[in-house]
Amino acid sequence: MLPSTLILGVAICGLFICIKFLVEGTLTTTVGLRSETSKKQDSMTHFAYQIHYLKNRFKGLSYLFHGPEVIEKAYAQANGRPFLVATPSNNHVLVTTNELMREIADASPASLSLHAVAKELLQPKHTMHGFEWQNQRGLEGTGFVRALRSLLTSHLAYFQPSIDSIIRTCLREELSTPGGNGFTQVHIFPMMKRIVTRVNCFIFFGEELSQKAEFTAAALEFPQSVIFAAEILRITPSFLRSIVASLATGKHRAAKTLFRHLEPIVKERMAKRANPDLNRNSPLPVDCTQWLIDTSPRKNPWSPARMIGEIIAVWFSTVHQLSMTATYLIEDLCLHEEYLAPLKEELRQHVATSSKASIDIERLPLLDSFIKESIRCTNADAVSCRRKALVDYVLDDGTRVARGDWVCIPQRAMMHDPNRFSRPHEFDGFRFARANASLRAGNHSAEVPDNSPASLTTANHDWPIWGLGIAACPGRFYASLVLKLIVVQVLDEWECKLPDKDGPRSMVWRSSVVPRNDTRVLFRRQSERHLEAS
**Does residue 125 register a pLDDT over 70?**
yes
> CA 446 → CA 73, 199, 410, 438, distances in Å?
24, 38, 21, 10
Residue 362's pLDDT is 86
d(C-alpha 452, C-alpha 435), whole Å: 9
Residue 22's pLDDT is 40
Q: Cite the DSSP H helix spans in 471-531.
A: 476-493
Q: Are 353 and 530 in contact (CB under 8 A)?
A: no
As a whole number, the mean pLDDT across the chain is 87
d(C-alpha 248, C-alpha 226), whole Å: 9
Handedness of CA 13, 221, 304, 142 (dihedral sign): negative
Exposed e or buried b per residue across 517-531, where buried means at least 16 C-beta atoms within 10 angstroms of its C-beta: eebebbbbbeeeebb
DSSP for 288-326 reads HHHHHHHTS-SSSPPPHHHHHHHHHHHHHHHHHHHHHHH
Q: Give the up-direction half-sphere exposure of residue 422: CA atoms within 13 A in the CB hemisphere.
A: 12
Q: State pLDDT tens for residues 228-279.
A: 999 899 878 889 999 999 999 999 999 999 999 999 999 999 999 988 777 6
Q: Which domain holds residue 129?
A: 4-525
Q: What does the pLDDT average to over 505-533?
A: 84
Q: Which of 391-400, 433-442, 469-478 has the lowest mean pLDDT?
A: 469-478
* Domain-located, residue 530: no
Considering only CA atoms, which of 367, 517, 382 is closest in space to residue 429?
A: 367
> How many CB atoms are located within 10 Å of the residue 533 CB?
9
Q: State pLDDT tens for residues 427-458.
A: 999 999 999 999 999 999 999 999 999 999 99
What is the CATH classification number for the domain harbouring 201? Answer: 1.10.630.10
**Does residue 30 register a pLDDT over 50?**
no
Q: Is the pTM of this model over 0.75?
A: yes
**Does residue 425 register a pLDDT over 70?**
yes
Domain count of the fold of the chain: 1
Residue 20's pLDDT is 46
- What percent of the chain clears pLDDT 70, i.e. is strictly above it? 84
Residue 1's pLDDT is 36
**Does residue 76 register a pLDDT over 50?**
yes
Residue 473, marked binder = yes
Q: What does the pLDDT average to over 106-132?
A: 88
Considering only CA atoms, which of 329, 378, 327 is closest in space to residue 520?
A: 327
d(C-alpha 374, C-alpha 384), whole Å: 17
Q: State pLDDT tens for residues 156-184.
A: 999 999 999 999 999 999 999 988 789 99
* Domain-located, residue 331: yes
Residue 470's pLDDT band, with cuts at 50, 70 and 90, is confident
**Does residue 132 register a pLDDT over 90?**
no
Q: Which of 32-46, 343-357, 413-427, 470-484 has the lowest mean pLDDT?
A: 32-46
* Domain-located, residue 404: yes
Bridging pattern class, strands 406-409 and 384-389: antiparallel
d(C-alpha 513, C-alpha 508), whole Å: 5
Count helices and strands in the chain by DSSP H and E runs: 22, 13
* Domain-located, residue 531: no
- What percent of the chain clears pLDDT 90, i.e. is strictly above it? 66
Note the residue count of the chain. 534
Q: In what order do the strands lie in the sheet with 184-187?
A: 184-187, 520-525, 494-497
Q: Which residues on adjacent β-strands are paired with residue 523? A: 184, 496
The SS3 of residue 163 is helix
Q: Are 427 and 336 in contact (CB under 8 A)?
A: yes
* Domain-located, residue 534: no
Q: State pLDDT tens for residues 330-387.
A: 999 999 999 999 999 999 998 766 566 678 888 999 999 999 999 999 999 999 999 9
**Secondary-structure breakdown of the chain: helix, strand, coil percentages, each rounded to the nearest 5:** 55, 10, 35
Residue 19's pLDDT is 41
* Domain-located, residue 244: yes
Q: Cite the DSSP H helix spans in 183-303.
A: 188-205, 207-210, 213-233, 241-248, 253-274, 288-294
